[in-house]
């Protein structure tokens, strides 16, 4: 492939380092060169070049810097003008070309004095053809408009994916183009493959080859939610708030059949702790719980509670009250709340039940001396009330009477489409976290529980592509692994893959990004995000990251294990850039 193209010599190697090759070029050799009816041109930075290392092996390099031969050259005689006919090129070695095959990585580097050759469109096309499965292409290589490489779709579809970039850089267009290309070759794909796009802005609902699933037409059965789903929505602190959340969920599932028993237990606990500092608060709680009992306590006992006073720690007034409560509790099946929630129970509960359960758990803590439990849990409770008030009402996703159940199984979709757009535009961040966690967990558990890993060829392929992922797949300080982290680490074994689309990569889960094999990185200008990419994206060098702030909209750096070499590409929108284009308020 290469020996027949040793006609376009452009320079000589001046120095060789482990990850840097410097070569000199005469200015006369940088001019356009006509060969066999084709115009060959050196564009400079981002051009590919190669050098021979033995009879049939060549090292492929990419130029990242150019200076004049006299630039910052300490050995130059100050009275000399230097060699003004030369410039210096700096290139990174990418891999070895041998026997029409590319091998990523470098075992041997060329020697000083070896010739550097320019890479033509024909050479670059042959290179990409040798590493692709010839199914899809997204656009042309930067600096090479005549090279439209075929990508290795098999590698892209067997790795997690990230499309990153500032607003307006072309992220949505890239995903739309990718989905369009995949749909056009779906006859080549496994018949049991589905791609779910979490659409939070309505950027993908108009794709003509997709099925649109509007979340407003569904509800999530509360009995199907697990503690991880609630944690995703309410974001409880691991040590302070999460234990109360878990206990409240357990209590909520027993409230309807054990309400009187539970409140009698609370009243007994409060009366036995009547020396506490905040007696007036205790008394209000006891009276509130008495009203929940619907006549279980006689009127005389309730009247004594209302007149109950604490006399400087010598409290004899509560003894007859406590005796009456104990007598009523003796008639009940359970003597402690732990006894109740330790039973097996499949009883469903409502948001009202869970709100009442929170109050019970907080009351339980308060009578045991934890006076600050409500204040310490206020952020979690505020998120819960937000969910209840917004989505527990008519037409809400947490209202059991709203639409169909959102239950994930192999029959989730209708028709022949493999791409499904989940319209989530009606959800705020709390609900987004809940729905995305629930949906992802259900798909993962379906494959996990219904298929033997030793027989993976029958297991469905599921792809979850999350738009605006930084809003709900975030880096967390907590130790618990989220469902997204688990899919990132274990999903390959169960044919389930994640794609994150984000304008703030530094806020994404580091675990997920560490497992991504296909990066499409558009223009990024924030210094924090640039540094994050430099540290966390494989195969990306400092000079590649330094180019990201100046990439044009629609251009992207492709990197990761799915691509043999990192390279820039100009995405061909083919009409897919209209829905997310920026509108100007200025009249033409």
Q: What is the pLDDT of residues 526-537, one digit of tens each?
A: 999 999 999 888
Strands 218-219 and 404-405 come out as parallel
In tens digits, the chain (588 residues) has pLDDT values of 555 566 788 999 999 998 899 999 998 887 877 777 778 888 889 999 999 998 888 999 999 999 987 655 555 555 544 555 789 999 999 988 887 778 888 888 999 999 999 998 888 888 888 788 888 999 999 999 999 999 999 999 999 999 999 999 999 999 999 999 999 999 999 988 999 999 999 999 999 999 999 999 999 999 999 999 999 999 999 888 999 999 999 999 999 888 888 888 888 888 776 555 566 677 777 778 877 776 666 666 666 666 666 554 445 556 667 777 777 778 788 888 999 898 877 678 999 999 999 999 999 998 888 888 999 999 999 999 999 999 999 889 999 999 999 887 654 555 678 999 999 999 999 999 999 999 999 999 999 998 887 777 888 999 999 999 999 998 876 667 899 999 999 999 999 999 999 999 999 998 999 999 999 999 999 999 999 999 888 778 888 899 999 999 999 999 999 998 889 999 999 877 766 666 667 776
**Conformational region of residue 89, where left means phi above 0, alpha means psi within -120 to 50, and beta covers everything else:** beta
Residue 63: partners with Cβ closer than 8 Å, 6 or more residues away = 44, 45, 46, 47, 48, 49, 89, 90, 91
Check: CB of residue 557 under 8 Å from CB of residue 568. Answer: yes
Instruction: Classify each residue of 314-330 as buried b or exposed e, where b means 16 or more C-beta atoms within 10 Å of its C-beta.
Output: ebebbeebbebbeebbe
Could you report the per-residue pLDDT of 370-427, keeping only the tens digit for each?
888 999 999 999 999 999 999 999 889 999 999 999 887 654 555 678 999 999 999 9
| CA torsion, ordered 532, 535, 541, 545, to nearest 10 deg | 0
Residue 272 near residue 321, CB atoms below 8 Å: no
Residue 555 has phi, psi (to 5 degrees) of: -95, 145
Task: Please give the Cα distance from 288 to 291 (Å, whole number).
Answer: 5
Residue 72: its pLDDT value, please?
Answer: 55
Q: What is the DSSP string of 86-116?
A: EEEEEEEEEEEEETTEEEES-S--PPTT-EE
Which contiguous run of DSSP H or E holds residue 38? Answer: strand 38-40
Neighbours of 550 (CB within 10 A): 9
Backbone angles phi, psi at 30, to 5 degrees: -90, -5
Contact (CB, 8 A) for 585 and 201: no
pLDDT at 479: 67
Pull the structure tokens for residue 38: 């084709």
Strand, helix or coil for residue 75: coil
Dist CA 118 CA 60 (whole Å):
10
Contact call for residues 42 and 118 (beta carbons, < 8 A): yes
CA-based angle 435:440:444, to the nearest 5?
150
Alpha-carbon distance values, 103 to 107, 130, 227, 253 (Å): 10, 10, 47, 59
Residues pairing with 62 in the sheet:
48, 92
User: Tell me, what's the pLDDT at 75?
Assistant: 53
| Gap between the Cα atoms of 430 and 233, Å rounded | 5
Task: Give CA–CA dist 487/480, Å, rounded.
Answer: 14
Q: Where are the alpha helices (DSSP H) in 292-332?
A: 299-307, 318-330
461-466 and 193-199 strand pairing = parallel
Cβ neighbour number for residue 337 with a 10 Å cutoff: 21
Distances in Å between the alpha carbon of 532 and those of 93, 198, 516, 525, 536?
23, 24, 14, 12, 6
Helix (H, G, I), strand (E, B) or coil at 4: helix
- Compute the distance between CA of residue 341 and CA of residue 364 in angstroms, rounded to an integer: 14
pLDDT at 30: 79
Q: How far is CA 503 from CA 171, 543, 583, in A?
A: 8, 21, 19
- Which residues, in sequence order, are CB contacts of 24 under 8 Å at separation 6+? 11, 12, 14, 69, 86, 87, 88, 89
> What's the pLDDT at 328?
76
481: which DSSP letter? Answer: P
């Amino acid at each position: 492939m290469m020996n027949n193209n040793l006609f376009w010599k452009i320079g000589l190697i001046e120095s060789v380092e482990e990850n840097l090759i410097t070569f000199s070029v005469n200015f006369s050799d940088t001019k356009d060169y006509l060969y066999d009816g084709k115009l060959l041109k050196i564009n400079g930075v981002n051009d590919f070049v190669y050098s021979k290392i033995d009879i049939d092996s060549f090292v492929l390099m990419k130029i990242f810097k150019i200076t004049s031969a006299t630039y910052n050259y300490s050995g130059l005689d100050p009275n000399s003008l230097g060699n003004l006919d030369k410039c210096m090129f700096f290139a990174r070695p990418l891999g070895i070309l041998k026997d029409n095959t590319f091998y990523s990585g470098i075992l041997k580097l060329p020697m000083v004095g070896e010739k550097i050759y320019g890479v033509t469109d024909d050479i670059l096309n042959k290179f990409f053809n040798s590493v692709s499965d010839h199914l899809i292409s997204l656009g042309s290589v930067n600096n090479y408009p005549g090279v439209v490489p075929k990508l290795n779709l098999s590698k892209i579809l067997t790795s997690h994916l990230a499309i990153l970039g500032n607003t307006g850089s072309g992220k949505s267009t890239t995903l739309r183009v990718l989905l369009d290309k995949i749909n056009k070759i779906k006859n080549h794909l496994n018949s049991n493959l589905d791609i779910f796009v979490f659409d939070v802005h309505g950027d993908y609902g108009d794709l003509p080859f997709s099925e649109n699933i509007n979340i407003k037409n569904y509800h999530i059965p509360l009995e199907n939610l697990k503690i991880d789903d609630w944690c995703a929505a309410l974001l409880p602190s691991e040590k302070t708030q999460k234990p109360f959340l878990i206990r409240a969920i357990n209590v909520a599932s027993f409230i309807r059949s054990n309400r009187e028993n539970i409140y009698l237990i609370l009243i007994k606990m409060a009366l036995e702790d009547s020396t506490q500092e905040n007696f007036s608060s205790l008394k209000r709680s006891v009276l509130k719980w008495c009203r929940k009992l619907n006549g279980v306590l006689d009127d005389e006992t309730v009247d004594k509670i209302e007149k109950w006073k604490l006399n400087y720690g010598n409290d004899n007034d509560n003894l007859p009250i406590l005796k009456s409560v104990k007598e009523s509790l003796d008639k009940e099946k359970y003597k402690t709340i732990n006894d109740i929630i330790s039973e097996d129970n499949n009883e469903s509960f409502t948001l009202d039940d869970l709100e009442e359960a929170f109050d019970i758990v907080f009351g339980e803590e308060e009578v045991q001396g934890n006076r600050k439990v409500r204040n310490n849990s206020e952020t979690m409770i505020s998120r819960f009330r937000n969910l209840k008030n917004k989505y527990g009402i008519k037409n809400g996703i947490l209202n059991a009477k709203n639409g169909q159940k959102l239950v994930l199984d192999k029959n989730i979709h209708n028709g022949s489409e493999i791409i499904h757009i989940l319209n989530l535009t009606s959800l705020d961040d709390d609900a987004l976290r809940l729905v995305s966690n629930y949906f992802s967990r259900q798909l993962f558990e379906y494959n996990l529980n219904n298929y033997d890993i030793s027989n993976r060829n029958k297991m469905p392929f599921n792809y979850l592509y999350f738009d605006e992922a930084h809003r709900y797949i975030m880096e967390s300080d907590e130790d618990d692994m989220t469902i997204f982290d688990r899919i990132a680490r274990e999903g390959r074994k169960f044919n389930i893959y994640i794609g994150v689309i984000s304008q703030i990569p530094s806020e994404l889960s580091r675990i997920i990004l560490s497992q991504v094999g296909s990066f499409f990185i558009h223009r990024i200008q924030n210094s924090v995000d640039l540094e994050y990419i430099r540290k966390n994206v494989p195969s990306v060098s400092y000079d590649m990251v330094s180019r990201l702030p100046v990439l044009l909209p629609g251009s992207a750096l492709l990197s990761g294990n799915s691509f043999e070499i990192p390279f820039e590409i100009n995405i061909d929108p083919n009409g897919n850039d209209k829905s997310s284009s920026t509108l100007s308020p200025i009249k033409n």
